[in-house]
């Protein structure tokens, strides 16, 4: 059987995996920007501290996790979300700083 370019291209397109995305949340003036995001399962959120002097963390306290270490200006923290659901978080040293990641099932 002879494989044509069209068949090969179609085969590759349908066998290629969906690619996860990276979404950036900036931290500035003691706020998560944006405060709430919606992503798909498998995506990664990267929190980037763009403050001049302030340290922060991203604590998923309601999940029963221990408070993580801090990250400082120009540093990042990242997390990949594989399960669908709502994931509220806060900054441990600044509990009025809150945010939420909503994860939809991957398509």
Please spell the DSSP secondary structure of 56-101, one letter per residue: B--B-GGGTPPPPPPB-TT-EEEEE--S-EEEEEEETTEEEEEEEE
Sign for the pseudo-dihedral over CA of 82, 56, 97, 21: negative
Number of residues written out for the chain: 107
- Does some domain include residue 86? yes
Can you give the residue range of the structural domain that contains 55? 19-104
Predicted confidence (pLDDT) per residue in 8-59, tens digit: 334 444 444 568 899 999 999 999 999 999 999 999 999 999 999 999 999 9
Residue 66's CATH number: 2.60.40.420
- Does some domain include residue 46? yes
Residue 107 pLDDT class (50, 70, 90 cuts):
confident
- Does some domain include residue 38? yes
**Which contiguous run of DSSP H or E holds residue 105?**
none
- Does some domain include residue 96? yes
- Does some domain include residue 72? yes
């Amino acid at each position: 059987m002879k494989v044509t370019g069209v068949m090969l291209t179609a085969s590759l397109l349908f066998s290629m995996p969906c690619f996860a995305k990276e979404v950036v949340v900036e931290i500035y003036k003691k706020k998560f920007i944006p405060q709430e995001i919606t992503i798909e399962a498998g995506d990664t959120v990267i929190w980037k501290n763009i403050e001049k002097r302030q340290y922060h963390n991203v604590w998923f306290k309601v999940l029963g996790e221990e408070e993580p270490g801090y990250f400082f200006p120009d540093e990042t923290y990242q997390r990949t979300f594989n399960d669908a659901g709502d994931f509220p978080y806060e900054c441990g040293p600044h509990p009025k700083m809150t945010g939420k990641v909503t994860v939809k099932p991957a398509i």
